[in-house]
Amino acid sequence: MSSTDLFIKEYQDRFEKKIRENEISSLEHWKAQLDKIIATRQDSVASTQSQITKISEMMANRIKILKKGQNG
């Protein structure tokens, strides 16, 4: 294996590791948001639905921000 091949392999490994770390971080964040809903005693189904809708909106906003970053 040439030094260029080794460099590419190392770079790919680091990139994939960083992607996994970012995905884990993201999932941990949104899981924590859902765990808050689970932990609270909701008054009604409507209250639970409202909390879930709020999280969905937060996720949609984050996606929009990330997509803007791709284009910029």
Token pair 């941990």: residue: 28
| Averaged pLDDT for residues 2-27 | 93
pTM of the full predicted structure? Answer: 0.70
Q: Which residues of 31-68 are buried (b: 16+ CB within 10 A; e: fewer)?
A: eeeeeeeeeeeeeeeeeeeebeeeeeeeeeeeeeeeee
The residue extents of the domains of the chain are 3-71
Res. 72: pLDDT tops 90: no
Question: Tens digit of pLDDT for each residue in 20-65?
Answer: 999 999 999 999 999 998 898 878 888 889 999 999 999 999 899 8
